[in-house]
A and B are shown apart, each in its own frame.
Chain A
């Protein structure tokens, strides 16, 4: 095909309905507004097979959790799920599931949680909405000892507030990459805990194809290749709750188009922290590995969308090792670590000689990737 049309107005009829004028080109197909919306809906709903109306047990309503960040993807997901429920209701008088929505308030994030949730509630009033501060992770995780051990302790106090603990943990990290990594990990764990407490059997994440590809390479770069089978796959997660990524077949740029063409009420919900194309940070000090991968896939997505999709498809082919369920878990990210090989020592690329290792014997059970982010306990601040 000679060149692509810009996503403007190609002036061609829609390839699908052959009737209306197309408004954008989606994977080399010019589509009209309606057909594009249907395209996005279909891709998402196709992934929801297991959430059909259960006529066998009508009194048992399944509950799922949708983490809402007010980004393009999670807003779109919630909207499509809402439409889907309405369709189910109109067709059968019932729904296949009920939705709990959770927003996580990050430290230093100026988003007005209350106001946003209020708007979201107005848009889709039928769901349960909740908002939790990230430091609640220290309150909610039941065996909080292990995760709390990672927080550098002050000399005598042991009973500081979760808020202080989070601040102290984040302050102890020495790079932007480490901070972003740990925050993401804590967010996931808090979402999981909340989902369990709210009686949800599944979490439906808003991640697009692009985002999943990005995560694949970012986790690889952070030394978490071992955890890839759980990073992008639908189904059982190591957290004892199911993970689903219904937008896994939709590209980020398609979701952006979707929102931009949607009713104003929906677009008004979106509060992307970084709008549009991710800027290359001028200083590598503030750049994170996640940022790098985000930039990278935003550019690959532009011209090579199928390559992005192929990364995700390839990653989904990784198989969970038999017996992984009984492997010891990382205290931070909670991923099963093969053979309990915690820390960054004891493999081929570890160049420390044997005598050195015993002295650095891990006192904490955290995986290779988490150890890179939290290299040393605060008491031992030799650079790494």
Chain B
């Protein structure tokens, strides 16, 4: 085959078949195009303001490494005037994070960015190793996931940073769209597709960790292109690929996305587009506010359990569990046994706050570790969650006390004495824990 010239510069030899549209590009043009598209995403969505201090949630993986590199490049090229820093979370699992944290440290030097590593220990008083010692291996993923969700926001507020960017890419978003359709979770569908999430009006306290804005500059970037970019720029990253169980929803959705991409390269982007359009069709959605309205569902939601890397192991039977629940509900519905074991009992706590009940009361399938989780399936309307603040830590929560605080309370109570309460609390959490390891893995959820 004759070497073809780059479709853009028409000079150099094309070496890269661009995953997104199969155009043939030379290395230089690919890198420029990739960066320009992210610049385009940033400017059209007005992600940043001049002088803003922005923390990049950095795990040492490809996405966050590329994000840091591209933001540094663009910040200089287009003079965004951003103060970029790296923020990493250390769960405190010996031998697990060490390599990736080393990578982040090298990145900090390479990019000349300030790095802060915050441990679960500093943020919560517990390392994951200690948690495991306390609660055992079973169920500890719930803790890790719940803690991680808040960790970036808590970390950012410690540093006085109001904006955290994460490395979620187009594949992640597309997967989440399909996954939420598969498990019938419309509220989460709305939330995960927006590029910026924040809840500016929840608290006026500047130190409150509810005022953290989250954004995803790589939302429209293909995973394959991120890998190509990292490769051609010789970026230093650490592969921490999660092994998803093929049975779990995300694994299922992920495989589907990969197949779709093979059949039609634009499909990933097309699913993202569908996801954005579908948000406007969810009953009671705040059309067009992009999730930033005060009434909309917030940036970080605490009721998701599970840890990205443990996902495969802990949820092998996830689809089976949901299937069993749904079937149970179908039988109940057929027998007209509809029922107070449904959402109401789950949501009871929220009412004390003067908030509407209605969290997840929507035909949402609650994926839970807990087999006892009772979830009614009386879909009528997809209610959205109404958010308030945790009365303990001030973090966003649809409950009076956020999940992390509930878990911590259990842990701390058990520290001096026996673990009487733990069982209950764990159950309580997993009732609401719909796991979404995109948010769990990431250093931060959407």
Residues of A in contact with B (beta carbons under 8 Å apart): 27-28, 175, 177, 216-217, 219-226, 228-229, 284, 287-289, 292, 296, 300, 303-307, 309-311, 313-315, 317-321, 338, 347-349, 351, 353, 368-369, 372, 383-384
Contact = CB atoms under 8 A, between A and B. Distances in A.
Contacts of B271: 220-221, 223, 225
B283 A317 contact: yes
Contact of A317 (B21, B195, B219, B381): B381
Contact of A372 (B186, B260, B270, B287): B270
A177 B264 contact: yes
B256 interface: yes
Contact of A225 (B263, B278, B326, B382): B278
Interface string B329-373: 010000000000000000000000000000000110100000000
Given A313-B184, A314-B181, A347 B273 contact: yes
A303 B319 CA distance: 9
Contacts of A353: 36, 40
Nearest to B330: A306
Nearest to B34: A351
Interface of B: 21-23, 36-37, 40-41, 44-45, 170, 177-178, 181-184, 186, 195, 219-220, 252, 256, 259-260, 262-264, 266-267, 269-278, 280-283, 287, 319-320, 322-323, 326-327, 330, 362-363, 365, 379, 381-382
Given A220-B271, A307-B323, A318 B278 contact: yes
Contact of A310 (B259, B320, B363): B363
Closest 3 CB pairs of A and B: A225-B274, A306-B326, A223-B270
B45 A217 contact: no
A353 B186 CA distance: 32
A216 B181 contact: yes
A304 B178 contact: no
A282 to B, nearest CB: 12
B365 A310 contact: yes
A219 B273 CA distance: 11
Contacts of B44: 348
Contacts of A310: 183-184, 326, 363, 365
7 contacts: A221-B178, A221-B274, A225-B276, A284-B262, A304-B322, A317-B382, A372-B264
A351 B319 contact: no
Contacts of A311: 181-182, 184
A289 B267 contact: yes
Nearest to A219: B274
Contact of B45 (A225, A319, A348): A348
Contacts of A383: 21-23
A317 B362 CA distance: 10
B273 A289 contact: no
Contact of A303 (B186, B277, B323): B323
Contact of A288 (B41, B186, B263, B322): B263
B326 A338 contact: no
A338 to B, nearest CB: 7
B298 to A, nearest CB: 20
Contacts, number: 159
**Dominant secondary structure of chain B at its interface with chain A:** helix
A309 B326 contact: yes
Given A175-B263, A383-B23, 14 more contacts: A175-B264, A220-B274, A225-B275, A226-B278, A284-B262, A292-B259, A309-B326, A310-B326, A313-B379, A317-B381, A347-B273, A348-B195, A349-B273, A383-B21
B266 A372 contact: yes
Given A310-B184, A347-B273, A319 B283 contact: yes
A320 B277 CA distance: 12
A357 to B, nearest CB: 12
Nearest to A296: B256
Nearest to A227: B277
Nearest to B280: A321
A220 B276 contact: no
A353 B38 CA distance: 12
A303 B323 CA distance: 8
B136 to A, nearest CB: 27
Choose among A219, A292, A321 the residue with the greatest number of B CB atoms under 10 Å from its CB.
A292
A27 B333 CA distance: 14
Contact of B363 (A220, A303, A305, A314): A314
A223 to B, nearest CB: 4
Contact of A369 (B170, B181, B270): B270
Contacts of A292: 256, 259-260, 263
Contact of A221 (B170, B186, B260): B260
A349 B379 CA distance: 32
B271 to A, nearest CB: 6
A222 B363 contact: no
B446 to A, nearest CB: 15
A132 B275 CA distance: 36
A314 B262 CA distance: 27
Contacts of B45: 348
A222 B271 CA distance: 7
Nearest to B382: A317
A338 B267 contact: no
Contact of A229 (B272, B281, B379, B382): B281
Choose among B23, B181, B259, B273 the residue with the greatest number of A CB atoms under 10 Å from its CB.
B273
Contacts of A288: 263
Contact of A289 (B260, B272, B280): B260
A364 to B, nearest CB: 18
B192 to A, nearest CB: 14
Nearest to A291: B263
A216 B181 CA distance: 9
A317 B273 contact: no
A64 to B, nearest CB: 27
Contacts of B182: 307, 311
B77 to A, nearest CB: 15
Contacts of B264: 175, 177, 221, 289, 372
Contact of A228 (B183, B272, B278): B278
A372 B330 CA distance: 38
A289 B263 contact: yes
A2 to B, nearest CB: 13
Nearest to A181: B264
Nearest to A369: B270
B50 to A, nearest CB: 21
B162 to A, nearest CB: 22
A314 B184 contact: yes
A306 B281 contact: no
A217 B195 contact: no
Contacts of A319: 281-283
B276 A348 contact: yes
Contacts of B277: 225-226, 338
Contacts of A368: 270, 273
A309 B36 CA distance: 43
Given A27-B327, A229-B281, A306-B326, A223 B274 contact: yes
A15 B327 CA distance: 16
B183 A351 contact: no
B319 A317 contact: no
A350 to B, nearest CB: 9
A375 to B, nearest CB: 9
